[in-house]
Every structure is written in C-alpha cells, then in structure tokens.
C-alpha cells in the first residue's frame, strides 16, 4: 500500500473513532502538561480523559457510575493520601477484582512515581507472600474479601481496603480520600506498571517495559484501524484487569473516553444483560468466556455489538465460527504476550477466511517464525514465534529476561504463517512431545476434539510413557446429554489425523482446572 494512501487510511480510521474530536482550547493547552508531569503512565491517560470528557461516564460497576471528572478528582485525592504512606523505592500492589476501586488505585498510584504491581486474585497465600517480597511491595491496596489470603501470606507492609462490604480492620480508600490534602506534585521518577506472567507452572514473574510514544503509537494505530472501538461507546471488560488483555483495554477505554462496564465476577448471563442494558458496542473476553456466553440458553444476541475482542489463550476454529454464526461477524482475535503486548490482530474477515488465525502483524511490528538454528521458515512450516518492535520488554523484576535472536524476542509459542501472511498458533514450544520418535503438537488434537459435538471442553497434554517416551492424554468434559466413549473419541482422532496422534488415554472430567484468565492449569490435571 503506498505511503500516502496508508496515511490517509490511518487518519480516516482515527477520525472515525471519535478520538480526535475538537477539544476546548483551554483544556487542549493543558493536555500535554499531563504527559510532561507523569510520563507514559495510566495517570496521564486518566488526566487527559478528564480534560476532554469531564462529564462523560467513565466507570459503571455494581456500586453505580463515575464520570471522568469524578474519577480524576478521586485519583488525585487518593494519591495525596497514599503519598505519606509509601517509601520512595517501595512498590504499590493492587489486589482487586474488576471495579472502580481498581481503576482509581492504579491512576492514583501511578501519579506518585512508585511502581504499581498488578496482583493475581487467584494467588494462594504463599504465592502472594513470595511475590510481595520479591517485588518490594510496601503498600497493598486490596479488596476486603482477600483479608484471609493476605493475613496468611506473611506480608507485613501497609494495607488499605478498596472494595469493602463491612467495617474492617484496615482503612479504606474512601476514608483516605475524604481526609486527603492537596494532590501530589510532579514525581521524581516515572512510574512503571508491572504485570505478572500467567504463572500456570510456577510462581509468576513480573514483566517490566520501557514504554514511550514510539512504542505506543504504532500499536494504537493498528488497533484503531482493525478494531471498531468508538470514543464514548460503552465497553464491557470481562477478563481480570490485572491481566495484560484486561489492562490493555482498560487503557484503551480510558484513552478514548469510553464508559467502562466492570463486574467483580464473570457471569455469562450478566454480561449479556449488561451489554443490552448499556448498549455496549465492544466486549473483551477470553475464549472460555465466549464459550460460556454461547452456552447461555436462549441468551440475547445484542444488536449493539460492533466488536468482540478475544485473546489470552488459543481461539479454536470451531469456537470462532460458532460465535460469529450466533453474534455476527464482530469477532476480533488478538495475539501477544505479557512481555510483548499484542503482536497480531485477526479481523472478522480473517477469521471467516481462516478460522482460528491470530491474524496479521501489527503496524511496525516484526513477527518471524524461526527454527532451532535461528533461520526464518517459509509459510506452512512450524517454528518458534519471535517478535520485534511493539512494547520494549525490559526484563523480569526478579532478574533475567527472555531468549531472543538478532533483536527479536522469543515468545515461547510455536506457530506458522499461511500463504496470505496470517499467523496460526500451534501450541507452546514446551508442550510439544516426542512420542515414538514423532513430534506431536497437543493443540492440533485439542482443536479436533474441541469441535466434536459431544465434547464441551477438552485439554490435551503430554505424559511420560515407558515404551514411547511420551504419550498424549486427553481430558474431556462431555457435552450435556452426551454419552460419548473413550473408544469413540479415539476413533474420531484416528479418522482425521495420523495414528501416532491418537491419545492413548481419554479421561472424562466434570470440569477443567483453569486460571482466572481461562488458561487450563495442565499441572493440576490428574495424569495417573
């Protein structure tokens, strides 16, 4: 595409979102000052949104609504209150469900120059204690429901309640805000937001990024061109806000002045009702959430939806087709990692042409498939996915980084491109097994079984085998009313794939153990 035509396309896409509508001159002058004051952090995004849309709804949760002006005033007051409770080098941890208090805490903490650590609400007490010590958390903002976990974690720092239902032993952000003095001045350093990796096989690591306009603008332009999110149109975020997908769309929503519809717990019927009630145009969800929404009996198909953004784990072809058949061609699949941000975006057109694809690379971002020797592979061949550009990964907070090659970062995922330049994810590099001398990718078998009408959910993993080195084991949740057998599923795989890809074991289970972001905890599966 010629450069001039591309620039016109980008300009048109940005204008159509409403992101560049005129701003009052007195407010426009003050907007750059927010960036100079805080840097590329959530506090800047919130402050700019308050200047542009002071009376527009910012957050909708179980406790009501907040405008952008109200959210900014609350964040400023809370920052003033927290300033005297936190050391200069200490980090602020946020352990909250999806609600306005999470947003307020992040906006307030990032004003102070202290790093903000987003903590997983599924953490056990030992995990929380280990992460809090490693990350140097000196102040923890958490919901009251996590009192027991924090009490048992050996964390000894300062604590403040965000969401609370009863009077508790700790001060609340509401009380601190009400008694706060003037807002804090310009911080001595720029805050960083630390996002935990998924941690399905061990204690999660914190990922740091060097974020600047040069990294943010290309990603934002790709998003604006491929995902029809409009300024002012309500956006429902279903994944946890501490997860990279949820936090990314929290940032997108704040930046575009959209009302953010949040709920502390995911309920598919409630999500559909919220979309209907608020006439939301965008839903953000992980694949298992889309399946739960599809399974709602006689659930509505809201006509207001213009985009359903899916990410966080593999989107199987049968699910993308079933969802678009029910809701229309509104599904967008994004692929990326905590370390790199989103790398590719698949539009509805991509998903119809090539179901299950992760799409094409984002603007000014390089995605290559490399073999074990670092050589780039042609379309159709599977290798490890490497990315360059986008967010600049600055290493893990506990030390160390990720392997790379020639300036590209290894994602740890295996994938391939098709002839049209669309990326497909074939599984994790450490998931591939060698069974009887043959390389086997569990995801291929998982996709096939997942499309079977008698299968509601499935996870396929490798287990040790004395004769073959490793073998495949499938864990299956039967569809309601199904009496499918182990032999029936094995025959189905044998009919469509090579014999060595047939699972030697099929276990029927009531449910699959999942993280809060929908990923299957493979280590929790009983492989006996």
| Domain CATH code at residue 505 | 3.30.300.30
Structural domain boundaries, residue 60: 24-191
Q: What is the per-residue pLDDT for 185? A: 72
Gap between the Cα atoms of 384 and 382, Å rounded: 7
Cβ burial, residue 105 (10 Å; 0-12/13-18/19+): buried
What percent of the chain shows pLDDT beyond 90?
Answer: 56
Q: What is the per-residue pLDDT for 400? A: 53
Q: Is the pLDDT of residue 85 over 60?
A: yes
Gap between the Cα atoms of 484 and 491, Å rounded: 11
Span 356-362, average pLDDT: 91
3-state secondary structure 221-272: HHHHHHCCCCCCCCEEECCCCCCHHHHHHHHHHHHHCCCEECCCCCCHHHHH
Task: Judge if 286 and 395 occupy the same domain.
Answer: yes
Task: Judge if 389 and 240 occupy the same domain.
Answer: yes
Q: Is the pLDDT of residue 334 over 90?
A: yes
Q: Is the pLDDT of residue 17 over 60?
A: no
Q: Is the pLDDT of residue 32 over 80?
A: no
Interval 399-428: pLDDT, tens: 555 566 777 888 888 999 999 999 999 888
More confident residue, 34 or 27: 34
Domain contains 350 = yes
Interval 95-139: pLDDT, tens: 999 999 999 999 999 999 899 999 999 999 999 999 999 999 999
More confident residue, 28 or 488: 488
Q: Is the pLDDT of residue 167 over 90?
A: no
Mean pLDDT of the chain: 86
Task: Judge if 281 and 371 occupy the same domain.
Answer: yes
Domain contains 204 = no
Domain contains 493 = yes
Q: What is the per-residue pLDDT for 240? A: 94
Task: Judge if 258 and 387 occupy the same domain.
Answer: yes
Which helix (H) or strand (E) segment holds residue 484: the answer is none
- Residue 391: which pLDDT band, with cuts at 50, 70 and 90? low
Helix, strand, coil % (nearest 5) of the chain?
35, 25, 40
Token reading at 355: 């179901």
Q: What is the per-residue pLDDT for 308? A: 97
Domain contains 415 = yes
Q: Is the pLDDT of residue 289 over 50?
A: yes
The residue among 428, 454, 482 that closes a domain is 428
Q: In 10 A of CB 64, how many CB atoms?
A: 8
The residue among 396, 412, 428 that closes a domain is 428
CA distances from 309 to 54, 81, 305, 363 (A): 27, 36, 11, 18
Residue 412 region by backbone torsions, left for phi larger than 0, else alpha for psi between -120 and 50, else beta: left
Indicate the range of 96-100, 169-173, 233-237, 407-411 predicted with least confidence.
Answer: 407-411
Task: Judge if 400 and 454 occupy the same domain.
Answer: no
Q: What is the per-residue pLDDT for 16? A: 54
More confident residue, 13 or 264: 264
State how many domains the chain has: 3
Domain contains 208 = no
Q: What is the per-residue pLDDT for 499? A: 86
| Helix ranges (DSSP H) in 2-157 | 3-16, 25-38, 42-52, 68-83, 100-109, 125-135, 147-151
Task: Judge if 453 and 387 occupy the same domain.
Answer: no
Task: Judge if 289 and 375 occupy the same domain.
Answer: yes
Give the orientation angle of helix 68-83 with respect to helix 42-52, to 10 degrees.
Answer: 140
- Sign for the CA dihedral angle at 164, 170, 171, 173 comes to negative
Task: Judge if 98 and 159 occupy the same domain.
Answer: yes
Interval 218-230: pLDDT, tens: 566 667 778 888 9
404-405 and 408-417 strand pairing: antiparallel
More confident residue, 311 or 440: 311
Q: Is the pLDDT of residue 284 over 70?
A: yes
Q: What is the per-residue pLDDT for 200? A: 47
- Whether residue 46 contacts residue 193, with contact meaning beta carbons closer than 8 Å, is answered with no
Q: What is the per-residue pLDDT for 427? A: 84
What percent of the chain shows pLDDT beyond 70?
Answer: 85
Domain contains 19 = no
More confident residue, 501 or 10: 501
Domain contains 200 = no
Task: Judge if 418 and 462 occupy the same domain.
Answer: no
Task: Judge if 372 and 446 occupy the same domain.
Answer: no
Q: What is the per-residue pLDDT for 7? A: 46
- Residue 202: which pLDDT band, with cuts at 50, 70 and 90? low
Task: Judge if 317 and 415 occupy the same domain.
Answer: yes
More confident residue, 336 or 77: 77
Q: Is the pLDDT of residue 46 over 80?
A: yes
Q: What is the per-residue pLDDT for 412? A: 85
Which CATH number belongs to the domain containing residue 389 in this structure? 3.40.50.12780
Q: What is the per-residue pLDDT for 453? A: 93
Q: What is the per-residue pLDDT for 362? A: 82
Span 41-67, average pLDDT: 94
Domain contains 15 = no
Task: Judge if 407 and 387 occupy the same domain.
Answer: yes
Q: Is the pLDDT of residue 8 over 60?
A: no
The residue among 413, 428, 443 that closes a domain is 428
Q: Is the pLDDT of residue 12 over 90?
A: no
């Amino acid at each position: 595409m010629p450069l001039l035509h591309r620039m016109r396309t980008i300009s048109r896409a940005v204008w159509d979102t409403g992101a560049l509508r005129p701003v009052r001159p007195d407010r426009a002058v003050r907007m750059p000052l927010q960036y100079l004051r805080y840097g590329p952090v959530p506090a800047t995004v919130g402050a700019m949104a308050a200047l542009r849309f002071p009376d527009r709804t910012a957050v909708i949760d179980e406790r009501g609504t907040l405008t952008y002006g109200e959210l900014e005033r609350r964040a400023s007051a809370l920052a003033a209150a927290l300033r005297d409770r936190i050391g200069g080098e200490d980090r602020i941890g946020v352990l909250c469900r999806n609600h306005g208090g999470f947003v307020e805490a992040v906006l307030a903490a990032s004003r102070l120059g202290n790093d903000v650590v987003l903590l997983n609400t599924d953490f056990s007490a030992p995990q929380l204690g280990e992460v809090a010590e490693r990350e140097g958390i000196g102040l923890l903002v958490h919901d009251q429901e996590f009192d027991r976990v924090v009490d048992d974690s050996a964390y000894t720092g300062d604590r403040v309640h965000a969401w609370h239902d009863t009077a508790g032993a700790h001060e609340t952000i509401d009380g601190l805000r009400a008694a706060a003095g003037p807002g804090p001045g310009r911080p001595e350093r720029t805050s960083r937001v630390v996002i935990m990796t998924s941690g399905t096989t061990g204690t999660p690591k914190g990922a740091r990024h060097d974020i600047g306009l040069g990294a943010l603008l290309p990603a934002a332009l790709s998003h604006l061109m491929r995902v029809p999110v409009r300024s002012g149109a309500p956006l429902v975020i279903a994944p946890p806000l501490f997860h990279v997908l949820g936090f990314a769309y929290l940032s997108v929503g704040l930046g575009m002045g959209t009302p953010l519809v949040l709920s502390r717990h995911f309920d598919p019927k409630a999500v559909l009702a919220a979309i209907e009630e608020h006439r939301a145009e965008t839903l953000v969800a992980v694949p298992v959430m889309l399946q739960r929404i599809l399974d709602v009996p006689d659930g509505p198909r809201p006509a207001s939806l213009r985009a359903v953004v899916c990410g966080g784990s593999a989107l199987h072809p049968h699910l993308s087709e079933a969802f678009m058949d029910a809701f229309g061609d509104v599904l967008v699949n994004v692929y990326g990692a905590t370390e790199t941000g989103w790398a590719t975006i698949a539009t509805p057109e991509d998903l119809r042409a090539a179901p299950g694809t992760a799409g094409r690379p984002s603007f000014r971002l390089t995605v290559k498939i490399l073999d074990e020797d670092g050589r780039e592979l042609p379309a159709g061949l599977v290798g490890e996915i490497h990315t360059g550009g986008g967010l600049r990964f600055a290493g893990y907070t506990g030390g160390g980084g990720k392997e790379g090659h020639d300036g590209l970062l290894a994602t740890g995922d295996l994938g391939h491109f098709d002839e049209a330049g669309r990326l497909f994810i074939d599984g994790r590099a450490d998931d591939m097994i060698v069974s009887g001398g043959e390389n086997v990718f569990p995801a291929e078998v998982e996709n096939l079984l997942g499309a079977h009408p008698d299968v509601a959910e499935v996870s396929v993993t490798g287990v040790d085998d004395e004769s073959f080195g490793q073998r495949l084991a499938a864990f299956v949740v039967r569809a309601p009313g199904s009496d499918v057998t182990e032999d029936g599923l094995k025959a189905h795989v044998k009919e469509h794939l090579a014999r060595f890809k047939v699972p030697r074991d099929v276990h029927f289970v009531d449910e699959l153990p999942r993280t809060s972001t929908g990923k299957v905890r493979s280590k929790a599966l009983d492989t006996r």
